Amino acid sequence: MSEHNISVTVNGTHHELTVEPRTLLVSALREELGYTGANVGCETGRCGACTVRVDGETIKSCTRFAVQSDGAEIETVEGLADDGELSTLQEQFQENHGLQCGYCTPGMLMSADTFLRENEDPSREEIRDAIEGNLCRCTGYHNIVDAIEATADQLGEQR
């Protein structure tokens, strides 16, 4: 069984680790590096609970081998808060009751955060399209859309 030394930056921190080729990115993040924010739901690429940002773009970390991300800049939900202070998006999820069990939340937040970077004033329809790849088994979609919309409004006011 071959093993590979890779390095990744997660939320600004540099890590070196040794992985088997078949180690999934989500497993490396959770089990090797302790970033348990990315959740494992379906493991088939459908549910989005494992969504993280790799080099600025969201991907489902259960559908990528860790070794493929050698050298990548990875961002997980743990990186959204600033020194324990929740981001506007996280606050709005709390405010709007955008989570129930919270299992989908890390992936939802990563998709929404990425989307809001490029869409300052989105419609509800656009928000729904943006979180199409993130399933919420508690089906709290209305509140999730409310939370993302409220974040866009609040960030807009601050600009």
Partner 1 sequence: MYTNDFDYYRADSVGEAVELLGDHDGAELVAGAHGLLPRMKTGDESPPALVDIGQLNGLDAIESSDGGSISVGALATHAEIADSEIVREHAAALADAASELGDPPVRNGGTIGGNLAHGDPRSDPPAALLALEGSLEVRGSDGERTIDAAELFEGPFETAVADDEIVTAVRIPTDDDAVSGYRKRRDPLSGYAMVGVGVWLRTDDETIEAARVAVTGATTTPARLSGVEDELEGSAVSEETITAAAAEAGTALDADAFVSDVQASAEYREHLLTIDTERALYDVLDVGQ
Which spans of this chain sit near ligand FES (rule: CB under 6 A)? 40-43, 45-50, 60, 62, 99-105, 136-138, 140
The three-point CA angle 129-134-140 to 5° equals: 90
Helix, coil or strand: residue 25: helix
The listed partner (ligand FES, partner 1, ligand FAD, none) that binds 140, CB under 5 to 8 Å by sort, is ligand FES
Using CB under 6 A as the criterion, what x/- string covers residues 47-66 for binding ligand FAD? ----------------x---
The listed partner (ligand FES, partner 1, ligand FAD, none) that binds 84, CB under 5 to 8 Å by sort, is none
Q: Which of 16, 57, 83, 157 binds partner 1 (CB under 8 A)?
A: 57
Q: DSSP class of residue 21?
A: T
Judged by CB under 8 A, how many residues of this single chain contact partner 1? 32
Token duo for residue 78: 């743990």
Residue 37: Cβ-neighbour burial (10 angstroms; 0-12, 13-18, 19+): buried
First to last CA, the chain: 53
Q: Which of 34, 45, 102, 156 binds ligand FAD (CB under 6 A)?
A: 45
